[in-house]
Amino acid sequence: MLNLGERSDPNVEVHKFYGGAVLAVCLLALVFQAFLHKYGRWSELIDLPLLVTIYFGVSRRNPVTGLFLGGTIGILQDALSHDNPIGMYGIAKTMVGYLASSIGGRIDTEHPLSRFGLVFCFFHFHQIVLAITQRVLLNHSAPLFTLRLFLDSLVTAAFAVPLFALLDRLRRPS
């Protein structure tokens, strides 16, 4: 039953994954993201490290783990990019990881529609943090919201639903 927006059961299950699965998935996401970069538009359309951050954040449901995981992924993403100062994605993904972990313990994140909505919202939250950081620190006029970003968020959210279902297979059975 979908309980989108409702507080989940306090005794909600914390998902655990096979050993090294989290690390491997994160590295793969970064590698694929770098690989997609070769194809231009795809790298901008789908932010795989963001999806991985959201997924493991809501799955682990531990804010501390989520913020460190998001921060690490973001910094590595910055490091792999050729022009981003290190910390730009790090800040955004740290906050996304923290929020995803916090929300994951309160609402149902297993339903595809719920996952779609979560990713859609986190995509824009990530973009807003990124834009603010760029505006404040880099003095760039990064957009907070555009139609293209809206479409990108829809594509990313749609992509996230099957991806998350795929990643669910890495969970250890409880």
Partner 1 sequence: MWPLNYGAENMIDTYSRHRPLALLAIVVVAQVLLLAFQIKGEHDVRLIRYWAVALVTPLERAGTWSFSKVGGAWGGYVGLRNARAENEHMRIELDQLRLRNRELESQAAEVARLGALLSFRNAHPEASMLPAQVIGSSADPTSHTLFINRGEHDRLRMNMGVVTPDGIVGKIVEVLPDTAQVLLINDKDSGVGALFSATRTHGVVRGSGDPEPRMDYVVNDEKVQPGDAIVTSGEDRIFPKDFPIGTVESCKPSNPFQTIRVQPSARLDRLEEVLVLLSQQEVVFKKQEAPAAANAPAKTAPANPSATPQ
Residues of this chain that interact with partner 1 (CB under 8 A) are 63-64, 67-68, 71, 74-75, 85-88, 90-91, 94-95, 98, 102, 133, 137-139
If the CB atoms of residues 137 and 151 are measured against partner 1, the closer one turns out to be 137
Q: Rounded distance, CA 73 to CA 34, Å? A: 13
Which residue in this structure is represented by tokens 């951050």? 53
Q: Count how many Cα atoms sit within 13 Å of the Cα of residue 52 in the half-sphere of its side chain.
A: 24
If the CB atoms of residues 46 and 99 are measured against partner 1, the closer one turns out to be 99
Q: How far is the CB of 107 from partner 1 (least distance, A)?
A: 17
Q: How far is the CB of 68 from partner 1 (least distance, A)?
A: 7
Q: How far is the CB of 66 from partner 1 (least distance, A)?
A: 8
Q: Count how many Cα atoms sit within 13 Å of the Cα of residue 72 in the half-sphere of its side chain.
A: 15
If the CB atoms of residues 43 and 65 are measured against partner 1, the closer one turns out to be 65
Q: How far is the CB of 67 from partner 1 (least distance, A)?
A: 5
If the CB atoms of residues 49 and 163 are measured against partner 1, the closer one turns out to be 49
CA distances (Å), 174 to each of 35, 111, 135, in order? 34, 18, 45
Residues 6+ positions from 68 with CB-CB distance below 8 Å: 94, 97
